[in-house]
Amino acid sequence: MSTSDTMLTGLSQASAPVGLTRGMTHALRAQGFDLAAALFGAPDAAFDSLPSQAQALLLNGLVLDFTARALPGPGATLRSLDLTPGLTPLPEEKVEITGTIVARPDPETAVVAIVVSAPRGRLAEASATFALPVAAVKGMAGARPDIQLHTHQHLAALMTRSATLPALAAAVAWPCDRDSLLGPVEAARRGALRPILVGPRALIEETAAQADASLAECDIVEAVTPH
């Protein structure tokens, strides 16, 4: 792998001997944990309370990033990946990823053993098998994307407080599309609002059905036009 910050050079079939070892460090940013949680449908949950699959998703991402940037690098084709999780990863933790080529079953194939560790212990072990290119492939390293998830923390706090008070009755005019309907429906589900939906009943009910939303907590007042 090139030492350049902008260009990576992957291994070729002729430059990947058994025993070759490379490593890299990586800081686990909180956004990565938020993304893993959101993909499993629980963006407000603590990461260690999520299914082990969410943690495995994050660890797999670390391993794949290492193989794309360090060993074997650009140009290699992943054939299989077997990962065994260890300790639960923690936000803002600095981890070290080390990989070693442990086998060359044939001239095209390389097997890489990978360890992900933190100061407090081992987070994961993995074995990955790659098909290597005949000639070395170069590629731009590129910056890792900056992930920004909208967690709506202030809205969540407001909803939590309002749930302790009696539900407030409020009219919602013409909630005939998914976005305008789901807001009051969710507020009703949380006990913060008793929505009075004003508009064509048939269209409101059709919109709710398409969004798989319940109107059990809502009243509907028929109206022919938005005016």
Last residue of a domain, one of 111, 140, 169: 140
Whichever domain contains 40, its CATH number is 3.10.129.10
- Expressed as residue numbers, the domain containing 171 is 153-222
Residue 123 pLDDT: 94
Average of per-residue pLDDT across 78-88: 94
> Smallest Cα–Cα separation from 13: which of 67, 79, 76?
76
Say how many domains are in the chain: 2
Average pLDDT, the chain: 87
The yes-or-no verdict on residue 42 having pLDDT over 70 is: no
DSSP letter, residue 155: H
pLDDT of residue 3 exceeding 50, the answer is no
Domain-ending residue, one of 85, 116, 140 = 140
* pLDDT > 70? residue 188: yes
* Lowest pLDDT segment from 28-32, 110-114, 125-129: 28-32
Per the domain annotation, does 2 fall within a domain?
no
Task: State the helix-helix crossing angle for 201-210 and 178-189, rounded to 10 degrees.
Answer: 80
Query: Which among 23, 17, 43 has a CA at the least distance from the CA of 31?
Result: 43
Is residue 117 domain-shared with residue 13, that is, in the same domain? yes
Give pLDDT, residue 142: 67
- Report pLDDT for 144: 64
In this predicted structure, what is the pLDDT of residue 20? Answer: 98
Specify if 174 maps to a domain: yes
Are 78 and 120 within one domain? yes
The pLDDT of residue 175: 95
Are 29 and 96 part of one and the same domain? yes
Find the DSSP H helices in the chain: 30-39, 52-69, 153-162, 178-189, 201-210
Between 113 and 154, the higher pLDDT residue = 113
**Domain-embedded: residue 64:** yes
